[in-house]
Structure 1
Amino acid sequence: MTKISVIIPIYNMGLYLEECLKSVMMQTLKDIEVICINDGSTDNSLEILERYSLVHNNIIILNQENCGVARARNNGINIANGEFVVFMDPDDYYPENDILECLYNSAKENNVYICGGSYSSFRNGKIITSYYGWLKDFTFTSYKKVNFKEYQCFFGFQRFIYNLEFLKKNDIYFPLYVRYEDPPFLVRAMICAKEFYSIKKITYCYRTGYKRVILTLRKTIDYAKGVLDVLNISKEHGLKKLQAIVLETMRDDLSSAIYKHIAEGNLELRDLLCQINSFIENQSSKEIDKAFSKIYLLEPQQITEHIKKNMIKEKEFIHTLQEYKKIIIYGACRVAETVADYLKSIDGINIICFAVTDASKNPSNIYDIPVRNINEITSYNENSLVLIATFTNHHQEIRNKLEELQFKNVLPIYFDELQLFGTSIK
C-alpha cells in the first residue's frame, strides 16, 4: 500500500527542481509515490522529470496545459493512491531524509487526519528557523495533539500531511485562485479535522527572496477572494485570532495593490473591497480591534485622493534621492529588497550597500549589492543618504543608532506608501 503521495505542481522551475526531487527521492519512508504535475512548463522542467522517472519507478508525470497550482494540486489529489498526501513546491526541499517517515509514523500512532512539523525559510543563502509575532506559530516545540481553535495559523500548508480519504470525504480541495489558494484549503482542512498532531522537527524548507512577487490585477482579485473566504470561515467558527492575523497580513501585503487597481478603474476589486470593509465594520473583539489599529482600508471613493497624495510623495522622494550620489539601504528584509527593486528603476541612483547591525546574521549580498555592518561604513556619514527600509516598529531604534554614529542624512521608508509608487489614476 502507498503510504504517502507527494504532490508537486511544476511550472518553469528547472533551476531548482533537481534539488527538490533529490530531497524527496532520498526520503527513508518506503512506499511513497511522487506525482509531478507539469503545468505547461516551457523550460527544461519536463526533461528533468522524464530523466528522474527513468531511474525512479514511483514518479508519476501528469502533463497539463498551464492552469495554475490550484488545479494542478487538485488533479494530484484526484489521482493519488497514498493513505496520506503532502504538497511540495518545486523550488523548495525537505531539510532531512526522514521527514515523511516521522510525519507518517506520528500520524498513525496518534490516529489523526493531519500531522505536521515546523517551517524554515531559505533566503539569500541563509536558513531562517526563528520567527516573530504570529509567525512564531510556524514553530512547534513539542510532540502533542493540537486543537486548531487554539492554534489558528493559516500559512505553511506544505509542512503537514493530510489523510487522503478525509480530504475527499469532506470535499476539501484548493479553490481555483492564482494567488492565496492555500490558506482557505488549510483552514478548511483544519476545521474539519478539529485537531492535528505536531512534531518537534523542521519538516519543510521554503525558498524565498529570489524573485519579486508582482500582484497583477488577476492575482490581487484572487488574493482578495481568498481573504474573504478565510474571514467568512473564521467568522462562522468563532476564530477571532485568525481574523485578526488575516487582516494584519492583508494590510501588509494587499491593501496597496487593491488601491492601485481600483484607482485604475477595476470594478470587481472595488466590490471585493466593499465586502472586506463591511466584514471589518461588523466584527468586534479584542483581537480584531488590535488588528484595526494596524490596518486601514479606504472606501473606494477615498482611494483616488489617497493615490494623488502618494504621487506627490513619490516625486518628492525621487527628488531627494537624486540630490545624493551615494545611497545606503538600512535593512535586509523584504522591505529593503522592495526598496532596492524600486531604486533600480530610477536613473542615476547609486546604491553602495545594504547596512545592518550585525552582518554575520545576514547574507553577504542581496541582488549583488554587499551587506555591511553599519559600524564599518561611518566614513559615509556626511555624504550619503541612509534609507531606513525596515518595518516601522524598528524605525526609532535604527534612528537612534544612526544618530549615535553621526549619519547626517536619514530618511525612513513607509512600506504602504512605497508599494503605491508608480501607480497612476484612470
Structure 2
Amino acid sequence: MGNHMIKVSVIIPFYNEEKELKACLDSVLKQTLIDLEIILVDDGSTDSSVKIIKEAMKEDSRIKLINQNQLGVGSARNKALNYAKGEYVVFLDADDTFYSIGAIEKLYNAAKEKDATVCGGNYVVAGEKTYLYREQEQWVDFYDEQIEFGFWRFIYKKETIFDIKFPTTAMGQDEVFLVRVLSKVRKYYFIPDIIYNYNINPNERKWYSEKRLYGDVKSLLLMYETGEKYGLNKLKEWCKKSLSYNGRVYATEYYCKRNPKILELRNEIKSCMEKDTDGLAKLYDSDCVKINIDINNSLKLANKLRDYLENDERSLLIFGTGVKGRQAYDYLRDIYNTRIAGFVVSRIEESKMLDGKKIFHISEVGKEYIVLIAVNSNTYNDVKNILLSANIDYIDLYVEDFYYLGLSSEMMRYAYG
C-alpha cells in the first residue's frame, strides 16, 4: 500500500471456516474503499482455512495473517486490535459478509464527515430478514436506550477504543465490547444503509454447552459492571432481568452437578443482585425451585415423545417450517436424524428444502410417515384438524418450547453423565 494512510482495518477471526471463508474474504476485497488493512486471525484451524488465506495473500498485499492456538474469538480480536494500523476499525465474522461493496466506504465517509468516533447502520439475517434500527440518518445518544446489538454493523475510531478489550468468554464477548465502547463515547452517528449480512451458523442452534452457558452469564455480569461504572440504570435493569433467567439455569446446573466454577459464578450473580434493593436476589433463590420443577416437567414430555417414536418406526415429518419447526428439528436431529424425512406444510412454498431436508406438501404425505406438529398453541388444533381431514397420522403431543426441552435434557446429561 506504499505510503498511503490505512483508513480502515478489517478484523476477521476464524477457526475451521474453509466452507465460508472465501465468500467472507471476497466481500472485503471487493469493497470500494481501497485503503484497507485486512487482518485475519487463525485460532488454530485444522482444515484448509489457512491455505485459503495464504493463497489470497499472494494476490493482495493488504491481507495479513496472525496465528494463535485456540484461545478463543475474544482473544483473537484483541490480538488484531493491537496489530491494527487503520484510522478506523471494523469487525467481520468469518461466516458472514458485508452486505454491499460500498458498505465500509459508507460508514467511513459518514464517520469522517460527522467527526464521529463510532458510526453504525442496519443489517440483514441470512440475506432475508432486515433489522432496521432506524430509518433516518441521525446522531444517537446511547444513554437514551442503553442497549444495542450487532457490534459488526459499526465502525470504530481506533484511538478511541485502544483501551477497550473483548472478554475471553465463550459467549457474549461482542456485546460486552459494544456496550463498553458506546458507554464511553455516549453518542454515535447512524446511517440507514444495510451494512452487514449475518449468516446463521447451524452450530449456533445447538444446545448450550456448560462452557457457553457460563460465558453467556459471565458476559452479562461484565455488562452490568459497565452499567454501574457509567450510571446506566436501564442497562443494569436489562442485565438483571437476563441474569434472573440465566442465573436460575446456572443455579440449577450447580444443584445437579457440583461444579465449583458454577458455584463461584452463582455467588457472583447473587453479589451483583444484592447491590440493589429490588428483591432480585431473593427471587433468584426461589426460582431455583421453580426451574427444577420446569425441568422435571420437560423431561416427562421428552420421555413421552421418545416413547411415541420408539413404538412407531415410520419416517418422521415435522409440521411447520417456522421457528418452532426449526427448533423441533434441532432437538430431534442428533437422536433421530436418519428418521427425519423432512418438513410438511399445508400451503405450497417456493422453497422445497430446509436445512437439507425436503419440504412436503400434505398431499404428498402417505401412511409411511408419522407427523410431529411444531406450531404455536393457537394453531395447534387447526393443524390437527387439517391432518385428520387428510387422513395423515400424527403424534398427539403439544410441545410448548422445543429449545427448553433440549436444554433441560442437556442439563440432566451434565448431572448424570
The one of 384, 402, 422 aligned to 2:383: 402
Q: State the SS of the aligned residue for 1:411.
A: coil
Correspondence 1:336 to 2:314: no
Matches of 1:284 and 1:357 in 2, distance apart? 52
Q: Distance in 1 between matches of 2:80 and 2:334?
A: 40
Q: Deviations over 1:297-321 (max 9, x none)?
A: 8666776666555443332231133
Q: How many residues align?
A: 400
Which structure has the bigger radius of gyration? 2
In 1, the alpha carbon distance for the partners of 2:381 and 2:294 equals 31
Alignment of 1:11-410 (within 5 A): 11-122=15-126, 127-130=127-130, 139-168=133-162, 171-211=163-203, 212-237=205-230, 239-243=232-236, 245-246=238-239, 256=249, 259-260=252-253, 262-276=255-269, 279=272, 307-324=295-312, 325=314, 327-333=316-322, 335-346=324-335, 350-356=339-345, 360=349, 364-372=352-360, 376-377=362-363, 384-388=370-374, 395-405=376-386, 407=388, 409-410=396-397
Partners of 1:331 and 1:388 within 8 A in 2 = yes
Matched letter for residue 159 of structure 2: E
Confirm whether residue 421 of structure 1 aligns to residue 409 of structure 2: yes
CA-CA distance at 1:258 after TM superposition: 6.4
Q: Secondary structure at the match of 1:15?
A: coil
Task: Kindly state the Cα deviation for residue 331 of structure 1 after the two structures are TM-superposed.
Answer: 3.5
Task: Give, in whole Å, the separation in 1 of the partners of 2:262 and 2:22.
Answer: 39
Compared CA separation, residues 110 and 404, structure 1 to 2 (3 A) = farther
Q: Does the CA contact (< 8 Å) of 1:6 and 1:33 recur in 2? A: yes
5+ residue gaps, structure 2 = 389-393
Q: Is the partner of 2:303 in helix, strand or coil?
A: helix
Distance 1:11 1:359, change over 3 A: farther
**Structure 2 vs 1, CA of residues 412 and 251 (structure 1 numbering), >3 Å: closer, same or farther?**
farther
Shift of 1:28: 0.4
Deviations 1:248-301 (A, max 9, x none): 66688886576446522213223423443565576589xx99xx9xx9886667
Distance 1:83 1:129 in 2: 32
Identity, % of aligned positions: 27
Structure 1 range deviating more: 237-246 or 86-95: 237-246
Does the aligned pair in 1 maintain the 2:15–2:43 contact within 8 Å?
yes
Moved more, 77-86 or 175-184: 175-184
By how many angstroms is 1:230 displaced?
1.3
Q: Give the CA deviation at 1:81.
A: 0.7
TM-score (norm 1): 0.81
Q: Which amino acid aligns with 1:113?
A: T
Q: TM-score normalized by structure 2?
A: 0.83
